[in-house]
């Protein structure tokens, strides 16, 4: 490389502060139908970078489609990168270009695009990564992490090589290849600044939710408190359930809690003696006040009390584009008092189920919502399938009301079941268990845990909280949120100290 080229590279690498940084969820387009519609949905879920890859269309079609996608990126305020072709990137006024090993050099791409554009390079080894940086790349793609159906993989360095690459270069690293929600953590913990995905988002029936659950994983890198949970529920004057239990749980588990109260209850460990519903318009005002100011990652709902409140909550959450909703369909208090009227159950099913990321019913609630009589795990599976068919994305059906064997919760995602068994604890101090479990799941999701891990950790938390509960009051005492959280934090600290 001559002196003029080296001087040019030194100049262009020094981007100003307005140059977009490559980090977060990096979406690469596919060649499928309705691409603009699916990308629009995905961007609303938290995509941070879009790479436009188009190999089949005519030049005119490539430009027309690229302009539509670029407009979406401009509206979303994210970088728009063109795959392989600096000339197409120039015509589309893209933010940059991503080059393969067989494409033109970063230096040649800059001569076409100008010094302010981003240039990325695909790499597969430490040597290639170092060379890309030396050649002036602003970031590298590295992979494949896992086998993938989008292209033939001839080299699979995997997550094990990622940490070495990250330690060898000083530019952002985008991990790519077969990355999904449940395997992304090893990639992120290996140091990837961004994770690139295609089918795990664009191949999902709901790209917005698929993108949201992947984007949420990056919260694990935030300083405490990690992530924010908004709980929309009733107030428990006894402090064991409802808003009070939710905020205790979220705070003790290391996330930030905000709230909107749907009803005031007069209750203690022996039962509910009075309910004063909040006007739906004021419920909306509370939620709007929070969502218009605070970046909320997860919304958890509990007692919604009336059909009008349920419909109002659904409308405002949809208006703000909230994708990760944990719905605890609270119907009965521990003492047997009905906390929602029957029209509210219909409204929850009609308005909230289509928005629900995770539904957490116990067996009596599942029976009311589906009409399925549950006597065993087979009945739980039937009810979970019925709830999923009503529009819920994931169902966690809690098995604590069964009397035989271990207490097993079943997580159903529409394709398969995961079992979360635990031994039964003989105690009457179980007030607020449903609220606490749902809030713990919400907190772990907000902190950047994928759903199965969030459910597993929340299950451990509530089991510990029940085991350590101290008698308080003369009825069903509350669980021990504080000591359960202490055990969780000690366990996390030990894991972090492991080499």
The structure tokens listed for 340 are 């929602």
> CA 132, CA 144: separation in Å to the nearest integer?
17
Are the C-beta atoms of residues 50 and 43 closer than 8 Å to each other?
A: yes
Kindly report the number of other CB atoms within 10 A of residue 496's CB atom. Answer: 7
Per-residue b or e along 64-100, where b marks 16 or more CB atoms closer than 10 Å to that residue's CB: ebbeebbebbeebebbbbbbbbbebbbebebbbbbbe
- CA separation, residue 478 to residues 385, 430, 435 (Å): 32, 6, 11
Among 262, 433, 436, 463, the active-site one is: 433
> CA 109, CA 241: separation in Å to the nearest integer?
60
* Torsions phi, psi for 425 (to 5 deg): -115, 120
433 is catalytic: yes
Among 117, 248, 300, 398, the active-site one is: 398
Among 430, 436, 463, 464, the active-site one is: 430
117 is catalytic: no
Among 435, 436, 459, 477, the active-site one is: 435
434 is catalytic: yes
> CA 433, CA 430: separation in Å to the nearest integer?
6
Among 434, 448, 464, 477, the active-site one is: 434
The structure tokens listed for 55 are 């190999």
430 is catalytic: yes
Among 432, 436, 464, 477, the active-site one is: 432
Q: Which residues are catalytic?
A: 398, 430, 432-435
């Amino acid at each position: 490389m001559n002196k003029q080229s080296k001087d040019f590279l030194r100049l262009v690498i020094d981007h100003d502060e307005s140059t977009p940084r490559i980090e977060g969820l990096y979406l690469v387009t596919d060649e499928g139908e309705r691409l603009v519609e699916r990308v629009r949905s995905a961007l609303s879920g938290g995509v941070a970078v879009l790479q436009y890859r188009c190999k089949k269309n005519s030049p005119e079609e490539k430009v027309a489609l690229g302009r539509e996608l670029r407009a979406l990126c401009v509206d979303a305020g994210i970088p728009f990168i063109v795959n392989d072709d600096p000339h197409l990137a120039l015509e589309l006024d893209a933010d940059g270009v991503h080059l393969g090993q067989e494409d033109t050099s970063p230096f040649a791409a800059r001569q076409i695009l100008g010094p302010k554009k981003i240039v990325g390079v695909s790499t597969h080894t430490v040597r290639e990564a170092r060379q890309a940086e030396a050649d002036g790349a602003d970031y590298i793609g590295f992979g494949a992490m896992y086998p993938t159906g989008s292209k033939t993989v001839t080299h699979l360095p995997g997550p094990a090589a990622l940490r070495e690459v990250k330690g060898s270069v000083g530019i952002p690293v985008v991990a790519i290849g077969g990355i999904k929600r449940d395997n992304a953590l090893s990639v992120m913990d290996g140091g990837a600044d961004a994770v690139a995905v295609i089918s795990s988002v664009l191949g999902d029936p709901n790209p917005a939710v698929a993108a949201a659950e992947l984007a949420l994983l990056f919260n694990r890198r935030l300083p405490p408190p990690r992530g924010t949970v908004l709980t929309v529920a009733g107030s428990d004057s006894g402090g064991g359930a409802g808003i009070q239990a939710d905020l205790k749980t979220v705070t003790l588990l290391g996330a930030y809690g905000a709230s909107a109260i749907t009803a005031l209850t007069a209750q203690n460990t022996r039962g509910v003696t009075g309910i004063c519903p909040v006007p739906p318009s004021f419920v909306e005002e509370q939620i709007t006040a929070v969502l218009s100011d605070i970046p909320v990652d997860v919304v958890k709902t509990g007692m919604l009390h009336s059909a009008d409140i349920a419909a109002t909550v659904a409308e405002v959450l949809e208006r703000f584009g909230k994708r990760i909703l944990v719905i605890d369909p609270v119907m009965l208090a521990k003492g047997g008092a009905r906390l929602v009227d029957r029209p509210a159950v219909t409204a929850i099913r009609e308005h909230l189920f289509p928005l629900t990321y995770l539904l957490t019913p116990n067996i009596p609630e599942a029976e009311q919502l589906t009409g399925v009589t549950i006597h065993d795990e087979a009945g739980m599976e039937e009810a979970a399938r019925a709830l999923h068919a009503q529009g819920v994305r994931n169902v966690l059906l809690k098995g604590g009301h069964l009397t035989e064997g271990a207490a097993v919760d079943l997580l159903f995602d529409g394709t398969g079941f995961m079992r979360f068994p635990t031994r039964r604890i003989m105690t009457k101090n179980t007030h607020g268990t449903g609220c606490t479990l749902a809030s713990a799941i919400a907190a772990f999701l907000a902190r950047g845990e994928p759903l199965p891990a969030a459910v597993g950790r929340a299950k451990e938390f509530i089991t510990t909280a029940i085991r350590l509960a101290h008698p308080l009051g003369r009825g069903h005492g509350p669980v021990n949120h504080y000591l359960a959280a202490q055990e969780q934090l000690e366990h996390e600290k030990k894991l972090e100290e492991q080499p």
